[in-house]
Amino acid sequence: MDCAPFFGLVDELVGDRLVRPRETRAGGQCVVDFFHPSTAARLGDDSLVTAFNRSGIVWAPPARRLGIQLRVPEADESRVRAALAAGPFPVDRTDHRGASAPDGEMVMLVHYAIREADVSDADLRATLEAVAAAIERPTGADA
């Protein structure tokens, strides 16, 4: 299984926005997992709490199946949902949970998912562009 084209496309369209991305090949799938910048900004990116709140993009090339899970602070929910809605596939809000920020405040994280099969190259690109927009830090946001 050759994940290089997928990893290259993710890097081209989304890569510079990701916090601590990792590329993995496993079980016929190409996986890029990372922290959404807003999640890392609010919770950090080096604790056990944040380890459970990584986002990810999964591509299974033989079946052309795509899975995306974004975990973001509730404060960014409407912006992220609007960006994902601009893509070609439906977006589901799948979960929410609280996490303790380093300052002790509880932060509500919401989870958004896209799961599709038989994804064309054009739809894969359009979806990754929507993910890139969902990951883009808003103007004036802290780095």
The pLDDT tens digits along the chain (143 residues) read 689 999 999 999 998 889 999 999 988 899 999 999 998 888 887 776 667 789 999 999 988 999 999 999 999 999 999 999 999 999 999 888 888 888 888 899 999 999 999 999 999 999 999 999 999 865 544 44
Q: What is the pLDDT of residue 138?
A: 57
Phi, psi at residue 87, to the nearest 5°? -80, 180
Q: Which long-range contacts (CB under 8 A, 24 or more apart) does 3-6 make?
A: 3/30, 3/59, 3/61, 6/30, 6/59, 6/61
* Residue corresponding to tokens 């509500």: 108
Facing residues of 36 across strands? none
Q: Exposed, middle or buried by CB within 10 Å (0-12, 13-18, 19+), for 64?
A: middle
CA dihedral sign, ordered 116, 5, 70, 46: positive
Q: What is the pLDDT of residue 49?
A: 65
With contact defined as beta carbons under 8 Å apart, do 19 and 118 qualify?
no
- How far apart CA 138 and CA 143 sit, in angstroms, is 10
Coil, strand or helix at 113: strand
Q: Are strands 55-60 and 65-73 parallel, antiparallel or unpaired?
A: antiparallel
Residue closest to 66 by CA, chosen among 36, 18, 32, 19:
32
Q: What is the pLDDT of residue 130?
A: 96
